[in-house]
Amino acid sequence: MTSVKTEEKQPTVLEQMGGVSGMLYSSLPVLVFVIVNFTTKNLMAAIVSSLAAAVVIGVVLAVRKGTIQPAISAVFGVGIAAFIAYKTGEAKGFFLFGIWQSVVYGSAFLLSIIVRWPLAGVIWTFLNGRDRSWRDDKASVRDYDIATFVWALVFFARFVVQRWLYDEDQVGWLAVARLGMGYPLMAIALLATVWAVRRADKRLKAAEEAAEARAEADAEAATEAVLARTADDLLTPDMDELKRVVDAESRDKSRD
């Protein structure tokens, strides 16, 4: 009983990463970087401020969620972006990692459709601690292919727009595009994923119920067959035994 309760209380991967609030807080270091860089015109001050914001947010999330995963996630991405900005000596370098990250993610999502392992389904089941029974249903795989393609479009749209703004040295608009094309577009992709999940779950539930009904019908048929054989054994006379009885009666009569 204790082990079952312990398993039920295990947090999902999404919860370990800080949940939805952790994802929202991760955008704050970007705002801090842009604001400090715009007001001070000092790239180093903007880098230090964004890193400090990431550390503070990570610690707060770690304390609230009881795990250091949010702190690591908060600092890692901002740290890479800040390092690139420092090495390039340009504020727009802060966004370069995210730009190329988008094209890599978009390519990965497209590739997953080709190999018939759509990432929308794989990631959803992983984050929510569910099995991959949908892999055995072609219609469910197709639904997840559609959701995965939406994710790929989101990532490639981010890359195209933000790469153009990067080439145009539009640091302020880069921040706007980073945030504006972040969660709003992600919400659309999530809706597509939820659509696929609901269709797959409904279909798999129906298949499971049908399988259970067939199993019950087979069990009932097997039980009826056993009962029928038992009844036949009880009602059908044993001809050999009957012959022996008749012969015995005949012998008895002949003696009389």
Residue range 188-222, pLDDT digits in tens: 898 999 899 888 888 878 777 776 777 776 677 66
Report pTM: 0.69
Verify that 142 and 214 share a domain, yes or no.
yes
Verify that 79 and 179 share a domain, yes or no.
no
Verify that 224 and 138 share a domain, yes or no.
yes
Last-in-domain residue among 89, 114, 138: 89
Residue 48 and residue 112: Cα distance in Å, rounded? 38
Domain contains 250:
no
Verify that 61 and 130 share a domain, yes or no.
no
pLDDT tens per residue, range 99-143: 999 999 999 999 999 998 999 989 888 877 677 778 888 888 999
Last-in-domain residue among 89, 115, 144: 89
Verify that 58 and 166 share a domain, yes or no.
no
Verify that 107 and 228 share a domain, yes or no.
yes
Verify that 99 and 75 share a domain, yes or no.
no
Residue 149: what pLDDT?
Answer: 96
pLDDT tens per residue, range 17-63: 455 555 566 678 888 888 888 888 888 998 899 888 888 877 777 77
Domain contains 2:
no
Verify that 76 and 100 share a domain, yes or no.
no
Domain contains 6:
no
Residue 245 and residue 33: Cα distance in Å, rounded? 106
**Short-list 59, 68, 66, 94, CA closest to 80:** 94
Residue numbers of the domain that contains 124: 91-238
Last-in-domain residue among 60, 89, 118: 89
Residue 251 and residue 77: Cα distance in Å, rounded? 105
Domain contains 234:
yes
Residue 51 and residue 174: Cα distance in Å, rounded? 19
Domain contains 72:
yes
Domain contains 160:
yes
Which residues neighbour 84 within 8 Å (Cβ) at sequence distance 6 or greater?
93, 94, 96, 97
Residue 42 and residue 85: Cα distance in Å, rounded? 12
The DSSP annotation for 178-226 comes to HHHTTHHHHHHHHHHHHHHHHHHHHHHHHHHHHHHHHHHHHHHHHHHHH
Domain contains 226:
yes
Residue 39 and residue 147: Cα distance in Å, rounded? 41
Verify that 116 and 192 share a domain, yes or no.
yes
Verify that 112 and 231 share a domain, yes or no.
yes
Domain contains 3:
no
Q: Give the number of domains in the chain.
A: 2
Hunting for tokens 């807080």 — which residue is that? 25
Task: Name the more confident of 215 and 160.
Answer: 160
Q: Between 43-65 and 28-40, two packed helices, what is the crossing angle to 10 degrees?
A: 160
Residue 167 and residue 151: Cα distance in Å, rounded? 24
Residue 255: what pLDDT?
Answer: 63
CB atoms under 10 Å from CB of 48, counted, come to 15
